Amino acid sequence: MTNALRMLIHPAFDNLPFPYALEHVLRETEITTKPITEEELKTTPDQKWILEIIPIPGILPYRDIYDLLSPFVINEITQGNGTLVINFAGEGETFPVYSELFNMFDIHGELFNNIVYCTGSLNIEKRYNQWRLEYNIPDNFNIINILFPGLENLSYPHITEVLDSTDKFIPSSSTNRNKMFLSFNRLFRRHRMYFVYKLYKSDLLEHGYTSMFLHDGCHPISEAGRHDKNIDVMVNEMMHLLPMLLDCNTGTRNLLDTLAINLHRDSYFSIVSCTQFYSDSNRFHEDETQLTEKPLKPIISKQPFLIIGNRHYLKDMREYGYRTFGKWINESYDDIVDDEERMDAILEETRRLCSISKDKWDKIILDMESTLLYNYNYYMEANNRRYTQRLGLHNLLIYTETR
């Protein structure tokens, strides 16, 4: 007897660069995968299988998932022979996604009891229970939530190599660093442009390593100016500085597998710019906390950080098990509801931290060293948590066959 996971191949994903992400997610559980087509399923009744769908905003929204499923596949899922896995571990959306999925299947008169949703949201259980209670969701519609946050998704080779050199690094050994802060803003987002502009107007750019691109990986900043005229003003005023490059000059959409460890070690704190900040830019208007690679990079580098993200991002990180830096950094901005006020508070704290002498910063790093090492070790222990998560998903999906 051997474990084999049959994965239904859907034509819509034939040309995607990452069609079967679950193969990576489940790799540590040492399973075998067996691709199977719909036509093959029709000739082999009672076969157990999974269909993985990766929603892509603007290309494959949730509301279109049902249209990808043939009547045969829908019937098989309804009968329990197939499991639908919606893999959006790279994002942190929950509450509205549940509603879109429920409405989509409810309209068509199909309520599945075995939908698996992979997400990066830290407050996943709270969100799901809240959603079921508020909308009185029937028992025959069940979403099984699997959490795969940030760099805990995959074991990136480059990150693994860096970890080998980082393990023995003592933060207090790196003194008299050249810059006060490190701020990556490579791909354009409205809040990133606003914050970099505030740094520029406050004469703080010279105190840090800062990156800023002229596009978001797909669209130039000029397109954003059509929706926010302030962007045009900022870009024109800063054009002599743009693009601001640090560790790369590529427009690749995400650089999950890189870590500019030298820049982290040559600056005292990171200003982490998350994907979401403004409530009106979050299309679902909710305070979701997605633990991405962005805050994990300074954690791996044993560096303190500020977060430009949704309200209570730091609070959710603490609830997840990480420690933040309230003893040394004013983190009251994390509680501010108004986006502009929260950004201004982050700017003011950046200004204060930049005014601290390097000698004093060296002492601060020494004082917070136990917290930095704790966060690093907590991340490393995530290898065990990650394996448990994958094993749980493995046990949920795997089927046994005789060969």
Confidence band (pLDDT; 50, 70, 90) for 263?
Answer: very high
3-state secondary structure of 36: strand
Strand partners, 117: 86, 145
The whole-angstrom distance between residue 364's C-alpha and the CA centroid of its chain comes to 29
- Is the model more confident about 67 or about 322? 322
Confidence band (pLDDT; 50, 70, 90) for 289?
Answer: confident
pLDDT computed for residue 348 by the predictor: 98
pLDDT computed for residue 399 by the predictor: 58
Mean pLDDT estimate for the chain: 80
- Is the model more confident about 111 or about 226? 111
Instruction: Please give the helix or strand (H or E) that residue 348 lies within, else none.
Output: helix 339-354
Confidence band (pLDDT; 50, 70, 90) for 141?
Answer: confident
pLDDT computed for residue 17 by the predictor: 46
Pairing of strands 179-183, 115-119: unpaired
Region 322-350: what's the mean pLDDT? 97
Answer yes or no: is pLDDT of 211 > 60.
yes
Pairing of strands 267-273, 305-308: parallel
Pairing of strands 267-273, 179-183: parallel
Region 146-162: what's the mean pLDDT? 57
The tokens 């409810």 sit on which residue? Answer: 106
**Nearest in space to 396 (alpha carbons), one of 144, 22, 76:** 144
Q: How far apart are CA 335 and CA 333, in angstroms?
A: 5
3-state secondary structure of 215: strand
The tokens 């704290």 sit on which residue? Answer: 349
User: φ and ψ at 219, to 5 degrees?
Assistant: -130, 145
Confidence band (pLDDT; 50, 70, 90) for 271?
Answer: very high
Q: How far apart are CA 171 and CA 160, in angstroms?
A: 19
pLDDT computed for residue 19 by the predictor: 45
Confirm if 262 and 303 have CB atoms less than 8 A apart: no
Question: What would the pLDDT profile of 4-57 be if each residue is shown by its tens digit?
Answer: 667 776 665 555 544 456 666 666 666 677 778 888 888 887 777 888 887 766
Answer yes or no: is pLDDT of 256 > 60.
no
Answer yes or no: is pLDDT of 402 > 50.
no
Q: Is the pTM of this model over 0.75?
A: yes
Strand partners, 318: none
The domains found in the chain, sorted by start residue, are: 2-148+384-401 (3.40.50), 157-367 (3.40.50)
The tokens 């939908």 sit on which residue? Answer: 115
Q: How far apart are CA 154 and CA 275, in angstroms?
A: 19
Q: How far apart are CA 88 and CA 281, in angstroms?
A: 19
pLDDT over 70 percentage in the chain: 72
Supply the DSSP string of 64-121, one letter for each residue: GHHHHS-HHHHHHHHTTSEEEEEEETTS---HHHHHHHHHHHHHTT---S-EEEEE-B
Confidence band (pLDDT; 50, 70, 90) for 307?
Answer: very high
- Is the model more confident about 204 or about 31? 204
Max Cα–Cα distance, the chain, nearest Å: 73
Confidence band (pLDDT; 50, 70, 90) for 371?
Answer: very high
